[in-house]
Amino acid sequence: MIWIPITVAAAALQVARNAAQRSIMGGAGPWGATLVRFLFGLPFATAFAAVGWLLTPGASAHPTSIFWLACFAGAGLQIAATAALLTAMHRSTFALGTAMQQSGLPFALVWGALFFGDHVGPITWAGGLIASAGLAALTWPRGEVVMRKGAALAGLGSGAVFALSANCFRQASLAFEPAHPAASAFVTVMVVQAIQTVGLTGYLAWRNPDSLRAVIAAWRQSLGAGFCGAAASGLWFTAMALSPVGPVRAVGVVEMPIAAIAGRRLFKERLTPLQLLAGAVTAVGVVMAAVG
């Protein structure tokens, strides 16, 4: 069950990364802010992978065709999902954008069962459904919460695509070095972020050089987002190498209360009592999914 505290740490680092990305989105746009986690995360991901590999005696690389296919597929899907998430945050609020992303929980269970042969018990499925219901109630706009056009579609879409990319990353980590999941996970992060950096940098240089310049100009915030993103991804990949993606995403819902606290402190956002109740229902589902 070591994957549970690893997942909690990953969720906390992911909130920090999202906050840093959101703070520069105004000038760089969603694609520029998406590039931040890859371009500025790659040096940290490379360092983490090198240290992890050197500290893992007996590790042996297996860069099979399955590994490369899963890396490229997951990299492309994650770029699209990240841009959708940042768009949802920009059109609603930080906490609600993060909560809508958690629709990745039921999608992770479904994709894992349908396409990747994951086997989870009925309690985990029930917990996933309960958590999903709580998240749906939590994301419903109330009071002064602003939900501009396209926010819900972008948020829910990001969850579905994040879940599919996460399953691809799990397969890549398992293929590269199944006997040493942590070292394999950090190497996978490095490879994936290199693919994403080259692809998205080239796209922005071609289609939106102003966005690329804005990313470079915000290098101080970008370094923080890069570090948190690389560390969070390494921990997510490690947890997913140790457990099917569905239960990992269930525990990862702890990101929601962390994001609510961050949104209140950083962006002066508040949740209503009904949303807090929905959060409690979600927590019950998370516990069921984790222990099931």
CB within 8 A of 138, min separation 6: which ones?
Answer: 96, 99, 256, 271, 275, 278, 279, 282
Measured CA to CA in angstroms, residue 5 lies from 32, 95, 137, 236, 239 at distances of 31, 22, 27, 11, 9
Is the pLDDT score of 108 beyond 90? no
Mean pLDDT to the nearest integer, 26-48: 83
Higher-confidence residue of 262 and 240: namely 240
Is the pLDDT score of 141 beyond 70? no
Q: Which two tokens stand for residue 285?
A: 């589902």
Q: How confident is the model at residue 80 (pLDDT cuts 50, 70, 90)?
A: confident
Work out the mean pLDDT of the chain and round it to a whole number.
83
Query: CA–CA separation, 71 vs 36, rounded Å?
Result: 19
Query: CA–CA separation, 290 vs 109, rounded Å?
Result: 12
Q: How confident is the model at residue 134 (pLDDT cuts 50, 70, 90)?
A: confident
Mean pLDDT to the nearest integer, 278-286: 77
At residue 103, the 3 state secondary structure works out as coil
Measured CA to CA in angstroms, residue 201 lies from 23, 32, 38 at distances of 20, 9, 9
At residue 179, the 3 state secondary structure works out as coil
Percent of the chain's residues with pLDDT above 70:
85
Higher-confidence residue of 264 and 233: namely 233
Q: How confident is the model at residue 231 (pLDDT cuts 50, 70, 90)?
A: very high
From 182-196, 223-237, 261-275, the region with the lowest mean pLDDT = 261-275
Query: CA–CA separation, 154 vs 140, rounded Å?
Result: 14
CB within 8 A of 208, min separation 6: which ones?
Answer: 29, 31, 32
Mean pLDDT to the nearest integer, 181-193: 96
**Structure confidence at residue 24 (pLDDT):** 62
**Structure confidence at residue 74 (pLDDT):** 96
Higher-confidence residue of 289 and 228: namely 228
Q: Could you tell me which of 71, 94, 73 has the C-alpha nearest to residue 145?
A: 94
Contact call for residues 128 and 105 (beta carbons, < 8 A): yes
Higher-confidence residue of 22 and 47: namely 47
Q: Taking the domains of the chain in order of start, what are their residue ranges?
A: 3-54+61-291
Query: CA–CA separation, 55 vs 47, rounded Å?
Result: 12
**Structure confidence at residue 187 (pLDDT):** 96
**Structure confidence at residue 139 (pLDDT):** 61
Is the pLDDT score of 52 beyond 70? yes
User: Most confidently modeled of 96-105, 108-117, 167-176, 239-248?
Assistant: 167-176
Higher-confidence residue of 61 and 142: namely 61
